[in-house]
Structure 1
């Protein structure tokens, strides 16, 4: 629903949202809300935190009291209606990490730049060892194209780092060598001790959590420009910020996982690709059908490869039935995928899977609304 401030009509929304009346409107903040009535224009008047706003309600009747969480700020803030009372510990953690997060592509680009420059040999031995462990935690295409290899890549993506550490034989040193988050933590600790100042704080208009945005194919980031004189400290400062942003990205995904009524995970797996590094994004969700009591799993993926362009897919498994839908931004890529359909059908039939649908469309789909849960979208 589109909302407009009413009690602050003389001000722009951006001004109102940064003033004392809206100091609590920060990324990740949870605000109390309640409907106040209907305006002369037929819009719902809502009290949200310290602001009174109008809203075009299209999703049904609102409860007498509810909570919303701030997903993004800027010219068009977005708020999510919470189905259950917010956990204050969870909200505080999200509030701290959301502005700091960033995708993995900038970090992978910085790692590429370091690997190609002689300055790498000037780094202290402990940093070189930590960088080597981070490189070792990257998966290869050959690994993730096997079922067991993909399972291992998911387990080592950082999403389950703490649960693996809590196992009877959990070993921090070993996990730092094969788990993405473990390797990031090791490198971040070394960079923290070297840094004169902490990395710059995140932006106030940070993007919402991944589960709220849906799948997004992520291209490789360009290599950072050469720095004058190959200054080691400048490179380390850049690396420090990239590592912190990647860690925040993992932790936001961990905090969001399982927060809904049914388990759902948004997992990102950094890959050692051909001539660079790529990011495979996976969405795994347990689905229950209240009508017939059935259940199953939905696996979505997004990937942007230099040779194929952006790709996206969704597999819906209700054993023994499977539906597969693929999307490709480039028509040539869609044709290449369709040429593999006969072999794929044969392999699935040999496994006893009943294929209900197998299709590939040109053009990427819009992010599904079921993960957005956006209640309010403000305009100036």
Structure 2
């Protein structure tokens, strides 16, 4: 496969050719390369040797690290992607890199909320304001996911499928760049990286991937403590780390989906007075030969009014079983009052409802793994 850089993000080609980088960028040279993300124009950003370049997406997902051979130079050099490591080996290496960096979306959403409440946010550089606005635009509303097509679109734009959609020739790149959660995170991370290097992770405890932990209803994180009037720099520094941690969490979920046979999806939602996180798990039931289209659909969310709620929907052909778990007893009564309406809606859509229950208390996650995968000690 050939990639052809369209521009140099850090240096112009003329300047690079006359400097020290010209030694390595000679025809036939083999260079180390790694993917950095996407630019504002949805160009693929790569670090090749000592240079950072932009290129059109190659039509397939690249590993985090690989090698290229220089085929030709000039204003737009041509590079050949060499054979990469076996997929499993590349996935394992990428997981090792990202697991110590990951964190949930809740701290990031709390910091975004705190920034939005500061009037001096309007005085931030225009590219940063635009990146923040794009990220806020990519957060779904409850109304958007209350019907099937809206929920499906929210899942597609959750960031988990960004690269696969970029590989499709009919994809509207401009629309994808505006609606996709990961694309918005990458743009904000790229904007913040221009002013300072990415922060190093400080947490010594490494949580396992989402797919190994099972569904967990995640509460909102508290907003950062009030700062001195006009002090936005501390929030931006905090935001910088949380954006990269959220990206690492999302990329771990993408890597885990490679072999897990299931999808773990997290969708940020605009709620009352803040943002909530809807966690979804989709698992095809390949062990059911009588119903080859059988699925198990799980979800978890922590809502201020209802508290933690978890559910499991099992679909076998047209037969559906629904089980709900709620932590608060008073919330069970509120949900059960809607059972008749829910049953009628499911029947009207041609489904046969075999079970519909709601009980107090949350189920234990099926995983027996520790909540901490690695704890470093001095």
Query: What are structure 1's unaligned runs of at least 5 residues?
Result: 1-84
2:142–2:270 CA contact under 8 A, matched in 1 = yes
Q: Tell me whether 1:225 sits opposite 2:228 in the alignment.
A: no
Give the equivalent residue in structure 2 for 1:178: 179
Give the secondary-structure state (helix, strand or coil) at the position aligned to 2:314: strand
Contact conserved, 2:159 with 2:183, CA < 8 A, in 1?
yes
Query: How far apart, in 1, do the equivalents of 2:277 and 2:92 lie?
Result: 27
User: Could you tell me how far apart the structure 2 residues matched to 1:293 and 1:347 are?
Assistant: 23
Q: Which residue of 1 aligns with 2:253?
A: 253
Deviation, 1:232, is 2.9
Please state if 1:92 is matched with 2:90: no
Q: Which residue of 2 aligns with 1:125?
A: 126
Q: Does 1 or 2 have the higher relative contact order (CA < 8 Å, sep 6+)?
A: 1
Asked if 2 retains the 8 angstrom alpha-carbon contact of 1:138 and 1:272, the reply is: yes
Alignment-derived partner of residue 328 in structure 2: 330
CA positional deviation for 1:89:
0.5
CA contact (8 A) 2:198 2:244 kept: no
CA distance in 2, matches of 1:351, 1:290: 23
Q: 1:1-380 alignment to 2 at 5 Å?
A: 87-195=88-196, 197-260=197-260, 263-289=261-287, 294-369=292-367
SS of the aligned residue for 1:257 comes to: helix
The 2-side partners of 1:97 and 1:287 are apart by 29
The alpha-carbon deviation at position 136 of structure 1 amounts to 0.4
Query: For the Cα contact (< 8 Å) 1:133–1:183, is it kept in 2?
Result: yes
Output the CA distance in 1 between the equivalents of 2:141 and 2:290. Answer: 40
Once the two structures are overlaid, the 10-residue window that deviates more, 113-122 or 227-236, is: 227-236
Question: In 1, Cα distance between the equivalents of 2:254 and 2:282?
Answer: 13
Tell me by how many angstroms 1:170 deviates. Answer: 3.0
Range moving further from structure 2, 109-118 or 224-233: 224-233
Residues 1:130 and 1:363: Cα distance change in structure 2 (over 3 Å): same
SS of equivalent residue, structure 2 residue 364: coil
Cα offset, 1:231, TM superposition: 2.3
Aligned-residue CA RMSD (Å):
2.2
SS at match of 1:102: coil
CA offset at residue 338 of structure 1? 0.6
Q: State the alpha-carbon separation in 2 of the partners of residues 244 and 123 from structure 1.
A: 20
Kept in 1: contact 2:326–2:359 (CA 8 A): yes
Q: TM-score, normalised by structure 1?
A: 0.72
Q: Gaps spanning 5+ residues in structure 2: where?
A: 1-85
* Alignment partners' CA distance in 2, 1:359 and 1:290: 23
Deviation at 1:184, TM superposition (A): 0.3
After superposition, the C-alpha distances for 1:217-274 in whole angstroms (9 at most, x for unaligned) are 00111110122343232221111011001111110000011413xx200000000111
Q: What per-residue deviation string (whole Å, max 9, x for no partner) do you get for residues 142-198 of structure 1?
A: 011111100000000000001111111335443221000000000000101111x43
Number of aligned residues: 289
Q: Cα distance, 1:203 vs. partner? A: 2.7
Displacement, 1:348?
Answer: 1.4
Alpha-carbon separation, structure 1, partners of 2:88 and 2:167: 23
Partner Cα separation in structure 2 for residue 337 and residue 154 of structure 1: 24
Distance 2:374 2:256 in 1: 23
Contact kept in structure 2, 1:101 and 1:202, CA below 8 Å: no
Which stretches of structure 1, 4 residues or more, deviate above 4 A after TM superposition?
Answer: 290-295
Match of 1:76? none
Q: Given the two structures, how large is their TM-score scaled by the length of structure 2?
A: 0.73
Residues 205 and 374 in structure 2, CA contact (< 8 A), matched pair in contact too: no
Q: 1:378 to 1:239 in 2, by over 3 A?
A: closer
